[in-house]
A = this chain, B = another copy of it.
Amino acid sequence: MLELLFAEIAKEVELTAADKALVQAAITPRKLRKRQYLMQHGEHFGEIAFVNKGMLRACLKGEKGAEHVMQFAPEGTWIPDSFNLSEDDTALYDIDALENAEVLLIDREVFQQLLQRVPALEKYFRQVMQKRLNALHLRVINYLTHFAEDKYKMFVETYPEIVQRVPQHMIASYLGIKPETLSRNRKKMATRKKEEPEL
């Protein structure tokens, strides 16, 4: 069950058999059906989840009940990527499954204990967070500097697999643009591709 997690960790640090046993003991697996919630906004939820199968989404409600996608989390990633492990563990988001999924949960306090017992994991999580920081920076840059068409193009280039797996209106919500605008941009991009001479 933990093959994928251990493979991800092994990219950064080496764990001993004893370390792996401690990781295993810290984890609670859970299966989710498509559309099932892992947590809902306002709930007490002091855990982080490693996506072992399927895809999850973090979403928040804006003004006038609008839904905003904060994160798509395919297998091999952590959600929420804010690693919001503060004392106040009231969930900011809704997190639900976009496909039938399996997650490995670690409780906030257990997480802190695990890091003390397996210091190598500090490095692994520092690396994971560094990558997420870079990704979030690019996202802020995308908001600040680009027009709708470029936003979509950048998303397609950065997350080609996610584009195939989630509905377009969710990508529009993630990018903070209107679904109609996204649809227009997709058509434009498709037309341009056709017009470009093959090399």
Residues of chain A at the chain B interface (Cβ within 8 Å) = 60-63, 66, 68, 70, 80-86, 92, 115, 119, 122-123, 125-126, 129-130, 132-134, 136-137, 139-141, 143-147, 176
Contact = CB atoms under 8 A, between A and B. Distances in A.
Contacts of A123: 115, 119, 122
A63 B145 contact: yes
A37 B169 CA distance: 42
Contacts of A137: 70, 80-82, 84, 92, 136
Nearest 8 Cβ contacts at the A-B interface: A62-B145, A122-B122, A126-B126, A129-B129, A82-B137, A68-B144, A136-B136, A122-B123
A147 B62 CA distance: 10
A83 B176 CA distance: 26
26 contacts: A60-B141, A60-B144, A62-B145, A63-B145, A68-B145, A70-B140, A70-B141, A70-B144, A81-B137, A82-B133, A82-B134, A84-B134, A84-B137, A85-B130, A92-B141, A119-B119, A119-B123, A122-B122, A122-B123, A122-B126, A125-B126, A129-B129, A133-B133, A133-B136, A140-B140, A143-B176
